[in-house]
Homo-oligomer: A and B are copies of this chain.
């Protein structure tokens, strides 16, 4: 049977089932479909054939099922419900043959999400970006996750350290090349600048001169982070907390999973009180300031609203699940989707 004929046949069955359920239930609300039979059947066919409006039909089917359940006579109810099950089964077969649910998946966004089925088939690194509201326990979740997955954990402090290391190395190269050979062997210089105090001095000196090409410190640091994060993402798996890493990776078209961890403000105040051992008023102030810094950083470098669910693949409420619960849920998410 052609798909068109199949659609017509099924549409008629749906229309008639509605009529039957209505008659048998004596529904006070009347049919789902009223008025001209031909017009209604055409409407059903259009709903079946157009994934974007198919939802209406499914909702109408749910209403018919609802009505069928209220039929008082046991035999009659079983009969109508049996027909209902058949129609639903055939409807699903039709949908399977004629395209899935209407698309909201965005090809670009989806191509960057490591969890989508398509991407899971390709060889790629597992990169989980965690953003979090202050005191939500998001960093904790990231660290536990990295340990459970046995992959690297990165956060601002660790990346800052990497940047410092890179700068030290570059400083060494620069200092070495700038200093006339006669002033000393490079071995001596190496030894000198590898000691912490002197390295710091050299760094300050070179920073002042030309390090940031006119950029302020934060911008320069953001550039550095972008370099490091994208370079690492090409080489290995990791969990990274903060630093708008999700956006850095998105902008560089590197697949990853972006997760936002948060908890209601009042729950987070309670946690700040525990961490700092301070009163509620002080905790509130600290939290507001901390959230503000996160938000401004994210908004400034991404142009997006920090914590807006639209910007992440998923958001988890740590007050609902706890830190361990969040970790377990994310581990569950990483299981091959059945």
In the complex, which residue of chain B has the Cβ closest to the Cβ of A53? B275
A76 at interface, CB cutoff 8 A:
no
A295 at the interface (CB under 8 A from B): no
Give, as a whole number of angstroms, the nearest-CB distance from A152 to chain B: 8
Interface string of A149-161 (1 = CB under 8 A from B): 0000101011001
Beyond A117-B325, A275-B52, A307-B309, whether A315 also contacts B318 by CB under 8 A is no
**Which of A100-108, A175-183, A208-216, A217-225 lies at the interface with chain B?**
A100-108
Grouping DSSP codes into helix (H, G, I), strand (E, B) and loop, the A interface class, with mixed when no group exceeds half, is helix
User: Any chain B CB within 8 A of the CB of A87?
Assistant: no
A140 at the interface (CB under 8 A from B): yes
Question: Cβ of A62: which chain B residues have Cβ within 8 Å of it?
Answer: 143, 153, 158
Interchain CB contact under 8 A, A317 and B321: no
CB atoms of B116 and A321 under 8 A apart: yes
Interface window among A9-17, A227-235, A258-266: A258-266
Q: How far is the CA of A265 from the CA of B305 in the complex (A)?
A: 13
Q: Contacts of A102 on B, CB cut-off 8 Å?
A: 137, 140, 271, 274-275, 323
Is A28 within 8 A of B323, CB to CB? no
Most buried by B among A147, A168, A313, A319: A319
Contact across chains for B161 and A321 when beta carbons are under 8 A apart: no
Question: How long is the Cα–Cα vector from A312 to B315 in the complex, in angstroms?
Answer: 9
Instruction: For A251, list chain B residues within 8 Å (CB).
Output: none
Cβ-neighbour of A310 out of B263, B311, B314 (below 8 A): B263
List residues 308-338 of chain A with CB under 8 A from any CB of chain B. 309-325, 328-329, 331-333, 335, 337-338
- What number of A residues sit within 8 Å (CB to CB) of B? 85
Q: A158-B66, A323-B100 are in contact. Are A264 and B310 (CB under 8 A)?
A: yes
| Residue A109 is within 8 A (CB to CB) of chain B in the complex | yes
Residue A115, interface by CB 8 Å: yes
Against B, the Cβ 8 Å flags (1 = close, 0 = not) of A262-297 are 111101101100110000000000000000000000
* A226 lies within 8 A of chain B by Cβ: no
Number of this chain's copies in the complex: 2
Given A116-B325, A331-B338, also A314-B315 (CB < 8 A): yes
Which residue of the partner chain, among B101, B263, B325, contacts A323 with CB atoms under 8 Å?
Answer: B101
User: Which partner residue on chain B sits nearest A324 by CB separation?
Assistant: B100
> B residues within 8 A CB of A206?
none
Q: Determine how close the nearest CB of chain B comes to the CB of A306; give it in whole angstroms.
A: 11
- Decide if A301 is an interface residue (CB 8 Å cutoff): no
Taking the nearest CB of chain B, how far is it from the CB of A301, in angstroms? 18
- A24 contacts B by Cβ under 8 Å: no
Q: Is the CB of A28 within 8 A of B109?
A: no
A-B CB contact pairs (8 Å), 6 listed: A28-B165, A29-B161, A59-B139, A102-B274, A106-B263, A260-B309
Which 6 pairs between the two chains have the least Cβ-Cβ distance? A105-B322, A315-B315, A104-B137, A106-B319, A309-B315, A101-B323
Instruction: A28-B199, A309-B317, A332-B332 given; name 20 further pairs at CB < 8 Å.
Output: A28-B194, A29-B196, A66-B161, A101-B144, A102-B275, A104-B137, A105-B321, A105-B322, A106-B267, A115-B325, A116-B321, A116-B322, A117-B325, A262-B309, A262-B310, A264-B311, A312-B317, A314-B315, A332-B333, A332-B335
